[in-house]
Structure 1
Amino acid sequence: MTQNPVLAAAPLPTGFDVVRSTAASRAALGVSIVLVLLAASLPLWGESSWMREFVEIACYFIFAMMWNLLAGYGGMVSIGQQAFFGFGGYVMLMLGNFAGLNPFVAIPLGALAAGVIAVPVSYVAFRLSGGYFAIGTWVIAEVFRLSFANISAVGGGSGTTLTALRGIERATRESVTYWMALACVVAAVALVYLFLRSKRGLALLAIRDNEVAAESQGIPVARMKLAVYVVAAFGAGLAGALYFLGNLRISPDAAFSVNWTAFAIFMVVIGGIGRIEGPLVGALIFWALNKFLSDYGTWYLLGLGLLAIVVTIFFKQGLWGFAQQRWGWSLFPTQRVLVRGGMER
């Protein structure tokens, strides 16, 4: 039986070492731990509005991170990920309102349901490729929207309210929602980072670059693509369940709007596609623009479009990609670099 050369470890030349981290990444790890611990204490001293803003940013970031995993690393450009975003939100609401389950417990279950439903959906989506795949995923999302719009138990086209939180005090609800959002952000970054640093992550990049060549080297292309598609759906469902828990209301037009994927594409392109830091930078920029400029109506949308055009023309790899090329910044390095023994990066 031949060993997969992509996944196999090759012997190192004498006097060389494989370096997988940088001084910047090690410093970033320490700073990140301090920031997470500080952020975890926010409900003890911060204002409730700050927690709500963080939950919104967290949902943007997680959704953009999953789209980046799917398209930026997996090469599967989808404009229908809102199908799983809305599905996770609706499952969370139904488990809370109808099954009597604590909505906070229902959040990971909603995400799990989105990942499960992605398996049969993939049988349809993976029959298409390229632009047809992108349009096909959009059509699938519209099928989800129309299906939930015709379910009267969840309010039909007008939507419904999450009533399962009525017995929980507002301060407790906001604090727990915030802590769950923080935990979801940390988990999303950690899991995606560890996956991309693994041999499976290398295989995924090989599939993105050339499916035929990757398969000829023994990589199970179909299985890898399905796994990434399911994980991206799980993450999108997690973001949706978290978002509508904080919003307390859901409707088909809000849950399955194509704007969610459009916003994710904007965030990833602005920050830098195919980089873990990209969705984080893009989510912060998008939130700031949405926070301070949304009152300007159509001028706000024109500003988003103008910014996207400027970045794609002058910073083709996104703002973080430009910074990485110019100054060598890499907070989450996934590549392996061969250096002489004793040398530091």
Structure 2
Amino acid sequence: MTEATLPGFQVLRQTRASQSFAVVGAVLVIAAASLPFWGESSWMREFVEIACYFIFAMMWNLLAGYGGMVSIGQQAFFGFGGYVMLMLGNFWGVNPFVGIVLGALASALIAIPVSRLAFRLQGGYFAIGTWVIAEVFRLSFSNISAVGGGSGTTLTALRGISKFTRESTTYWMALVCVVLVVVLVYLFLRSKRGLALLAIRDNEVAAKSQGIDVGRMKLAVYIVAAFGAGLAGALYFVGNLRISPNAAFSVNWTAFAIFMVMIGGLGCIEGPIIGAMLFWALNKCFADYGSWYLMGLGLLAIVVTIQFKQGLWGYAQQRWGWSLFPTARQLKLDVANTRR
């Protein structure tokens, strides 16, 4: 629990709750890995859907909640990753499960020139600009006949693979991606670079005065967020087996990510987890109500943000001190050394 010892104090980085959760989480992951051998195929499909929601929301939270860059165009990388995976599989014979990683890498690479345009804008202009960029992506792929144009196309690279193999491999890929995203984001936020990112979010001028390379840090986070969004997109369309521009580049993806993060808690790892599970449950129960369902989501978001400004988990953390993924450093009086 102790990172370093100061005269009369201890610097704490973990809590008993976080240590206990780490053990419980490891057990749950091991148990979840065996699901394909005893569970229903529908359970695996539902988990893959939740995993895609969570990964996408986690990346938006990293970008906006920790980096202060509010984007409403992350669906550009979500769809781009999905299309790259499909083209690699259908046209070049690349295994779609390998294509998931390659699609994510392609999204990260395309984010570099995109950032040169997006970073010219600030505040609300940045948010609107990213949306416009995503629309350019959508219109571009809508005019590519090789991938079905506006109507989309089907992933044919998985033909000949048994249903069990396809669904179980997709499920395991989703499980691995979820674990890696949580662990890597957690370790990043606990590092010096994580502290630098928080400093940039709070005050760019002050962060720059302390020697932080603001431009490079924001670019790195933007690329990482694009990689995660592309990973979620490629994974989603491997499970869905079909892609279209309207589905891949819909602004609803970012709207839903904002909903999940704001409901669960902005600027904490637990927030997207809670938000993704709640959104999935609401989607399964009320999606058939169409526009009334969307209005209900908006009303719920308004109520939660008014009553719980830090989200559901943020409120629990403030009220009871719960923290499953503690990233802050806390000073505690070392009673034993003080007495000496």
TM-score by length of 2: 0.97
1:26-54 superposed Cα distances (whole Å, 9 cap, x missing partner): 01101100110010000010000000000
Residue 253 (structure 1) aligns with: 246
Cα distance in 2 for residues equivalent to 1:342 and 1:118: 51
Are 2:164 and 1:171 aligned?
yes
Partner residue in 2 for 1:6: none
Equivalent position of 2:107 in the other structure:
114
Instruction: State whether structure 2 residue 43 is matched by structure 1 residue 50.
Output: yes
The CA deviation string for residues 206-264 of structure 1, in whole angstroms up to 9 with x for no partner, is 00000011001100000000000000000000000000000000000000000000000
Which residue of structure 1 aligns with residue 203 of structure 2? 210
Is 2:8–2:335's contact at 8 Å kept on the other side of the alignment?
no
Give the aligned partner of residue 293 of structure 2: 300
Amino acid at match of 2:16: A
Structure 2 gaps, min length 5: none
Distance (whole Å) between structure 2 residues aligned to residue 57 and residue 274 of structure 1: 20
Q: How many residues align?
A: 333
Shift of 1:12: 6.0
Q: Is 2:88 the counterpart of 1:95?
A: yes
Equivalent residue for 1:281? 274
Residue 17 (structure 1) aligned to one of 7, 10, 29: 10
For structure 1, list consecutive stretches of 5 or more residues without a partner in the other structure: 1-10
CA deviation after TM superposition for structure 1 residue 308, in Å? 0.4
Q: Does structure 1 retain, via aligned residues, the 8 Å contact 2:96–2:157?
A: yes
Aligned to 2:34: 41
Q: Residue 104 of structure 1 aligns with which residue?
A: 97
Equivalent of residue 59 in structure 1, options 34, 41, 52: 52
Indicate the SS of the match to 1:98. Answer: helix
- Which deviations, in whole Å up to 9, do the C-alpha atoms of 1:292-339 show, x marking residues without a partner? 111222221122111101101100000000000111100000000011
User: Hey, what's the Cα distance between the residues in 2 that align with 1:297 and 1:153?
Assistant: 32
Contact 2:104–2:229 under 8 Å retained in 1: yes
Q: Judging changes above 3 Å, is the alpha-carbon distance between structure 1 residues 42 and 342 closer, same or farther for their aligned structure 2 residues?
A: farther
Going from structure 1 to structure 2, the CA distance change for 1:249 and 1:342 (only over 3 Å counts) comes to farther
Please give the per-residue CA displacement for 1:161-206, whole angstroms capped at 9, x wherever unaligned: 0000001001110000000000000000000000000000000000
Are the structure 2 counterparts of residues 96 and 342 from structure 1 closer, same or farther at C-alpha, using a change threshold of 3 Å? farther
**Runs of at least 4 residues of structure 1 off by over 3 A?**
none
Per-residue deviation, 1:342: 6.1
Q: Write the distance in 1 (CA, Å) between the matches of 2:180 and 2:6.
A: 36
> Which one of 306, 310, 331 corresponds to residue 338 of structure 1?
331
Range with bigger deviation, 109-118 or 292-301: 292-301
Distance, in Å, in 2 between the alignment partners of 1:320 and 1:71 is 17
**What is the TM-score of this pair, normalised by structure 1?**
0.95
Percent same amino acid among aligned pairs?
80
Superposition RMSD in Å:
1.0
